[in-house]
Amino acid sequence: MGTMVYLSLGSNIGDREHFLRDAIARLENYGRVRAVSHLYETEPIAVIGQAWFLNCAVTMETAATPAQLMAHLLGIEQALGRVRTQAKGPRSIDIDILLFADVVVNTPTLTIPHPEMHKRRFVLEPLEEIAAEARHPALGKTIRELLEELPAGQTVIRKG
C-alpha cells in the first residue's frame, strides 16, 4: 500500500484540458490515481492580466517519498513544456502537492501541506469534490471546513 496524496493541477496556455489530461495520465507512472475532480475554470489571482486557468484536483496513492514525488512532478511539468519565466505567470502545466497523507515537510525546496492552499478557492473547490473529509495536518480542519471559511471572491466555475 502507498501513501494517499492530494495534488492540484492547473494550466492557462495552449490546450489547457490536453495538458491536464496528459499530466494525469503521466501520474500513473508514479502511483495509482484514485480520483480526479471535474475541471474548473478559474480567474488568475496573483498575476492579473493573464488567461484564465483550468484547474482540477487529483487523489493518488504512491510509494514515493515527498521529495521523490516532487521530482517526478517537476519532470512531468518539464516534459509538457513548462518554462518558469515569471512567478505565478502563464504556464502549460502546474502540479502542486497539497497534502501528503498527514506528513508535514518544511525544507528550502518543499513545503507540505502547500502553504497557500487554505487561501485558494481554485484549490479547495476541486479538492473538496474528491476529498471533502481530508484533514489539513497543520490547521486540523477538513477541506470542507477550509472551503466554508473562505471569504467571497475568486471566481471558480465548474465545467461539465
Active site residues: 82, 91, 94, 96
Q: Beta strand pairing status for 40-42 and 53-62?
A: antiparallel
* Grid cell locating 113: 501541506
